[in-house]
A and B are shown apart, each in its own frame.
Chain A
Amino acid sequence: METISNNLHPTPPAHQRTLSASADQPEGLRPAFPAHQRYWNEYVKEIADDRYFYERSCIRQTFFPGSEAAFLKILRDELGKDIRDEVNQHTCTGIGYHSDIVPLETTMTIVARLFSLMTEAGYKNYVPSCVTSFGVFSEIVHKWEEQPALLEKTRELLFKATGREFEIPENIAHPSDIIYKFRNELKDKMKYRLVNRYTGRPLKVVDHIGCHYAKIFPEKGIGKAEFPHVLAGMVESWGGEVVDYPERRHCCGFGFRQYIIQENRGYSIANSKKKFESMEPYEPDFIVSNCPGCTMFLDKWQYVIAEMEHKTYDKEGYGIPSLTYEEMAGLLLGYDPWTLGLQLHQVQVEHLLDKIGIEYDPDDKYRAADGSLLPSPEKPNNLQV
């Protein structure tokens, strides 16, 4: 086990008219502190080095079908790690739990069953693909630590129902934590950098952190809740520049009760719209997120807003591509964009690929694994593709 610290060296956004400590500093104002003096720089998180037990997300394989496969490939092929992709896994109940459909006792027992699969396979480091699962596991383990009787009750319920037993993981980390931990090793293997090949300038990247990553337990997130560094660290290491825009911490709008209840979906899109409007002046090249819902809503609501209001948040009318961090890493490592599943995004990514200089074959975009061509999707009326 290694304890890593967040070596924050954020690049100041180019747009910001920040003042150095030189003669142009207005009297009475002090310059921003050097990054190393920032308090959140001291926050550390333990992330296991190897031997991970991977738990897939309920929804990610539908929305971003190449992301989880890319993560496993990166860990196995690029980093040489042992990661188990368990075939008998199941939901963590996160969506049902947060929608008040699944009671706490059920969630605890189901979490316990997942842990029993890990125990049975001989692993101790749990890696849930989904940010909500990460929040659920962190919360349940915390509850068990605070209330040992609940842990005993859960052991009893699991054993009665399934005859299984379990150990609590020694380490729970989100996959984005692991990519962050090894970001510099990956950088050495990357074929591309987050640099606009036409201008030579760093790409401007909006990082969006899932609420359940650090807002429930700030100390479990790299950089804590106010300035999470988990995605920013990847972006900066790989040549990009993070956009620090006013609504950076605002919810993407996924919020289970906002989205699952149809009547509340207006709240969902309103939240996303607020973020788009806030990031628009900075002209970001793309959005990267570590949460299933965030990546999806920040992608698909752009289509809806374009259709409803004839509004896009880039200059050309294509929208701002919204990627997962595995897709971002996979692209830079030279993985084929269509194998990564980028053709399933609502906002098309070709302009971004061209900016980075990534090679791709447009004719393969809708080609199935057996080589046959799939039908092309219908084009939106307003969002350019």
Chain B
Amino acid sequence: MKHNIVIIGAGPSGIEAAHCLAVSGEHVTVFEKMEDPLENLRNKAFLFPDFTSASELTETFRTKLQHPYITYRGGTSITDMERMDGRWVLTTDRGEKIDTDDVILATGYRPFDASRKEELGYGIYNGVVTSLDMEKMLLRGRVVNSIGDLPSRVAFLQCVGSRDSKVGNNYCSKVCCITAAKQAVEVKKLLPEAEVFIFYMDLRMWGQGFEEIYRSSQQDYGIRYIRGRISEAAGTFDGKVQIKAEDTLTGLPMKMSTDLLVLMVGMEPSEGTRMLAGRCGICGEYGFARSENRHLYDNVTSREGLYLCGSCKRPMCLEDVISDARSAAMELLKSR
């Protein structure tokens, strides 16, 4: 079957790029390995820095995906792609061959698997959760500890799977600092009596409005920031989590028990990103896809007719992903 444009991945970047192309008169087919699109976004409650409801954005993207020029193929993985006779030929997991002029890779990221940091006890002690688990609890409006009670103390740990040579990820995932601040504020809104701590190496509040949340989280919500990495988490007799850290500002070791330890997991290239970037010869550092030129041609690749958008290239926040998707659509249109 012949297509004009195929987009692989139906997260925010894939849908935004598809919609931009569709409103420009192009027919686009979007492949998504999951049945439903927007898997990562669907599990979020509120978005930084303005606490926008994630469900509003999800609905907006769903509406965009229904554009008449967009064909959505959920539950279909692309298992291979190669360039033949000036066109891309994609193979699906059902053995179907897809013939197309252009491809946009929007295969995105996967959250770091926190159980790889076994010293932090994820998957071992029920009081240890990830930022994704916390987001699901916030989405339901109920934050609970390992036995279903309301927690009196919650500790967040930054840089789990990011800036960590032990797991092979030396890069910063960019969104965790502000996400922790955001989630901490949300926890305090739900549980004003709870003590909330954030353990960090340094805080990278780089975006517009981020610093304000950081400041407000301390001044208005009493959230306490401790500069130090947690070295070890262990379950306690009463179902809590004991954590050890060094407060590097006071130079003292510290130990405390917490009802919940929230691991702020970083972003890694998704399996699809790794595999397809590898197949196309555009595999960059850490398995992310590599663009032609980071400054001038960040949406094009060394392969003709192959474009990139979103967090398949590197960790990105949602604002950047959406802008990048529009940029990718424009690059593709320019070539026509």
Chain A residues within 8 Å of B, Cβ to Cβ: 15-19, 24, 26-33, 37-40, 226-227, 244-249, 281-282
Contacts and interface: CB of A to CB of B under 8 A. Distances in A.
Interface extent on B, as a size class?
20 to 34
Given A27-B137, A29-B144, A30-B133, A39 B232 contact: no
A31 B124 CA distance: 9
Contact of A26 (B124, B125, B134, B148): B148
B136 A28 contact: yes
B147 interface: yes
Given A15-B237, A246-B236, A27 B118 contact: no
Chain A interface mostly = loop
B119 interface: yes
B270 interface: no
Contacts of B119: 226
Contacts of B215: none
A361 B133 CA distance: 57
A319 B239 CA distance: 25
Contacts of A15: 237
Contacts of B115: 33, 37-39
B146 interface: yes
A32 B239 contact: no
Nearest to B116: A39
Given A16-B239, A244-B234, A281-B237, A26 B144 contact: yes
Contact of B234 (A27, A31, A247): A247
Contacts of B140: 27-28
> Which 10 A/B pairs are nearest by Cβ-Cβ distance?
A28-B137, A246-B242, A33-B123, A26-B148, A246-B234, A281-B237, A26-B144, A28-B136, A226-B118, A226-B119
A32 B237 contact: no
B279 interface: no
B234 A17 contact: no
B3 interface: no
Nearest to A244: B235
A270 to B, nearest CB: 13
Nearest to B148: A26
Given A30-B133, A38-B115, 17 more contacts: A15-B237, A17-B146, A19-B126, A19-B146, A24-B148, A27-B140, A27-B142, A27-B144, A28-B137, A28-B144, A29-B137, A31-B126, A32-B124, A33-B115, A226-B118, A249-B232, A281-B237
17 contacts: A17-B146, A26-B146, A27-B136, A27-B142, A27-B144, A28-B137, A28-B142, A28-B144, A29-B133, A32-B125, A33-B123, A33-B124, A37-B115, A37-B123, A39-B115, A226-B118, A245-B234
